[in-house]
């Protein structure tokens, strides 16, 4: 990458200096990158502009984090790629001019060089070389003779270090993206993901056109880049902050996948909540009905809580668990029709266990609490599946009073026979 920056600066200066009337630099052979003492020792009388690279460091002020999506080379390719955001580096150059023993010519050449560099805040795309080609007109930034540039504040020490005689010079800082990472490519599986969702039996035949999938994606841990199960996904209107959800919330499965169906087309706001992670809100576009070709899977990265935040969260969960009925966790929904808690005989909560009533499916949170929304009054059987134990069943009732929640149920899992106790 550094040699591509050298080539880029050589192209820019050679082209721009050639436009200056009377400038003695006319081609790229007169743009050099040696140490100033070496160029001065040549004493051949030919005019040169020398750019000596003396410092390379990361630029933390403009640096971004995360990953970017890499589109396929053509629309026919069934692949999609993701890679880390490039690291921004500052390359510091000491710019000197040399013309034998002609200081006036050197000063004139230094002024022409300064004018050529000040003309641009970023290198125009036509001058970019190597891996920088195609990066755009605003990706390689130039900072010339800036008094606040930390790399140029003590040029006297630079001269002393290289063992040369101090002479008029310019400080030039080039901010350039450096991308050492590799693109991770994966095959597109849009149709497979679209038929996944709550209440869908794996492998069952589905008509994709009738599913009306609005939003889908995967949620991963930002640090470990591993899928997160049980993340609560709630859709809201993009215009209004707060308010009622546009649809019942969804949860990610063990592979981190989620899907929301039958949402109105347009922009909406998704809230992602999970115990142990910071709540995140992201905007998503719902395509028009029938335009499944515009449906793009989302990749959501949740940031884990720091130790102090975890302590506060545990305190809030303990308080919520002691005030049942209700659901413990950040996905508390006051209009729940039925809520309960699963735990083992030794008192440990049955966390993230699949639960379902008929075709309606959900999962317990980290404290073992579950909830079902908008159930009509009546008697129900809550089913739960636990690893190594099997399915346990709990009888529950939703009262007929409007707005009231069902009586909470404490389910022992496993009991002697998978029994439940209120």
Mean pLDDT of the chain: 75
Q: Per-residue confidence at 205, pLDDT binned at 50, 70, 90? A: very low
For β-strands 378-386 and 354-357, DSSP reports them as: antiparallel
List the Cα angle 103/108/112 in 5-degree steps: 145
Q: Which uninterrupted H or E stretch holds 271?
A: strand 266-273
Q: What is the pLDDT of residue 267?
A: 87
Task: Give the list of residues 6+ apart from residue 199 with CB closer than 8 angstroms, or none.
Answer: 356, 359, 360, 361
Question: Which one of 240-249, 266-275, 331-340, 385-394 scores highest in mean pLDDT?
Answer: 266-275
pLDDT recorded at residue 300 = 92
pLDDT for residue 218 = 92
Check residue 243 and give its pLDDT: 66
Burial (CB count <10 Å: 0-12, 13-18, 19+), residue 28? middle
Structure tokens at 315: 């305190």
Residue 208: how many CA atoms within 13 Å on its side-chain side? 12
Q: Has residue 409 got a pLDDT over 60?
A: no
The mean pLDDT value for 321-348 works out to 55
Q: Is the pLDDT of residue 393 over 70?
A: yes
Segment 272-277 mean pLDDT:
88
CATH fold of 2-66+86-178, please?
A: STM4215-like (3.30.2000)
Q: Per-residue confidence at 208, pLDDT binned at 50, 70, 90?
A: very low
148 band by pLDDT with thresholds 50, 70 and 90:
low
According to CATH, the topology of domain 320-412 is Immunoglobulin-like (2.60.40)
State pLDDT tens for residues 94-123.
998 888 778 888 899 999 999 988 888 899
Query: In the chain, where are the structural domains located?
Result: 2-66+86-178, 189-302, 320-412
> What is the phi/psi pair of residue 318, to 5°?
-60, -40
Pick from 23-27, 300-304, 374-378, 394-398 the range whose average pLDDT is largest: 300-304
Q: What integer is the mean pLDDT of 206-227?
A: 77
pLDDT score recorded for residue 77: 59
Mean pLDDT to the nearest integer, 309-333 = 55
Q: What is the DSSP letter of 421?
A: B
Q: Is 290 exposed, middle or buried (0-12, 13-18, 19+ CB in 10 A)?
A: exposed
Q: Say yes or no to pLDDT of 219 above 90.
A: yes
**pLDDT tens, residue by residue, 50-80:** 899 988 888 777 766 666 666 666 655 566 6
Is the CATH code 1.10.3470.10 the one for domain 189-302?
no
User: Considering only 5-19, 275-289, 307-321, 332-346, which range has the smallest mean pLDDT?
Assistant: 332-346
Give the residue with greater pLDDT, 183 vs 241: 241
pLDDT value for 162: 81
Tell me the pLDDT band of 302, cut-offs 50, 70 and 90: very high
Q: Give the pLDDT score at 304.
A: 92
Q: Which of 105-109, 140-144, 372-376 has the lowest mean pLDDT?
A: 372-376
- Residues pairing with 412 in the sheet: 343
Q: What is the pLDDT of residue 227?
A: 92
- The answer to whether the CB of 369 falls within 8 A of the CB of 339 is yes
Residue 24 has pLDDT above 80, yes or no: yes
Query: Which has the higher per-residue pLDDT, 289 or 144?
Result: 144
pLDDT of residue 339: 79
Are 88 and 62 a contacting pair, CB within 8 Å? yes
Q: What number is the average pLDDT over the span 145-158?
A: 68
For 69, the token pair is 């999506």
Same topology between domain 189-302 and domain 320-412: yes
Asked if residues 371 and 396 have their Cβ atoms less than 8 Å apart, the reply is no
Q: What is the pLDDT of residue 363?
A: 78
Question: Can you name the residues that pair with 234 across neighbouring β-strands?
Answer: 271
Q: CA 251 to CA 231: how far, in whole Å?
A: 5
- What is the enclosing helix (H) or strand (E) of 209? helix 208-211
pLDDT computed for residue 186 by the predictor: 61
Q: How far apart are CA 90 and CA 250, in angstroms?
A: 45
Give the largest Cα separation in the chain, rounded. Answer: 100
């Amino acid at each position: 990458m550094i040699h591509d920056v050298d080539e880029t600066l050589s192209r820019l200066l050679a082209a721009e200096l050639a436009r200056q009337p009377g400038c003695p630099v006319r081609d790229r052979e007169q743009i050099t990158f040696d140490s100033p003492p070496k160029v001065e020792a040549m004493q051949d009388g030919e005019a040169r502009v020398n750019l000596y690279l003396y410092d390379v460091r990361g630029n933390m002020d403009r640096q971004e984090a995360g990953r970017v999506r890499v589109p396929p080379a053509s629309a026919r390719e069934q692949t999609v790629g993701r890679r880390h955001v490039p690291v921004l580096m500052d390359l510091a150059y000491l710019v000197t001019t040399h013309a034998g023993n002609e200081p006036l010519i050197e000063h004139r050449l230094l002024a022409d060089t300064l004018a050529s560099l000040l003309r641009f805040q970023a290198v125009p795309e036509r001058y970019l070389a190597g891996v920088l080609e195609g990066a755009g007109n605003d990706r390689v930034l130039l900072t010339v003779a800036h008094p606040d540039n930390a790399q140029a504040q003590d040029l006297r020490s630079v001269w002393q270090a290289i063992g040369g005689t101090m002479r008029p010079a310019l400080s030039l800082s080039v901010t350039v993206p450096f991308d050492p990472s590799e693109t991770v490519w994966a095959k597109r599986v849009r149709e497979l993901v679209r038929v996944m969702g709550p209440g869908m039996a794996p492998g069952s035949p589905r008509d994709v056109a009738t599913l009306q999938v609005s939003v889908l994606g995967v949620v991963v841990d930002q640090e470990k880049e591993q899928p997160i199960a049980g993340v609560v996904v709630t859709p809201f209107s993009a215009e209004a902050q707060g308010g009622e959800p546009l649809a019942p919330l969804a949860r990610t499965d063990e592979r981190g996948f989620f899907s929301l169906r039958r949402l109105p087309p347009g922009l909406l706001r998704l809230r992602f909540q999970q115990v142990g992670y910071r709540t995140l809100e992201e905007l998503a576009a719902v395509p028009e009905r029938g335009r499944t070709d515009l449906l793009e899977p989302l990749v959501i990265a949740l940031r884990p809580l720091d130790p102090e935040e975890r302590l506060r969260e545990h305190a809030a969960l303990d308080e919520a668990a002691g005030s049942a009925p209700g659901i413990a966790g950040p996905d508390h929904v006051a209009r729940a029709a039925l809520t309960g808690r699963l735990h083992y005989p030794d008192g440990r909560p049955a966390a993230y266990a699949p639960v379902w009533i008929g075709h309606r499916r959900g999962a317990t949170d980290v404290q073992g609490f579950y909830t079902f929304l908008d159930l009509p009054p009546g008697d129900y059987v809550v089913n739960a599946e636990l690893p190594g134990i099997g399915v346990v069943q709990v009888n529950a009732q939703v009262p007929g009073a409007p707005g009231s929640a069902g009586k909470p149920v404490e389910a022992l899992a496993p009991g002697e026979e998978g029994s439940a106790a209120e």
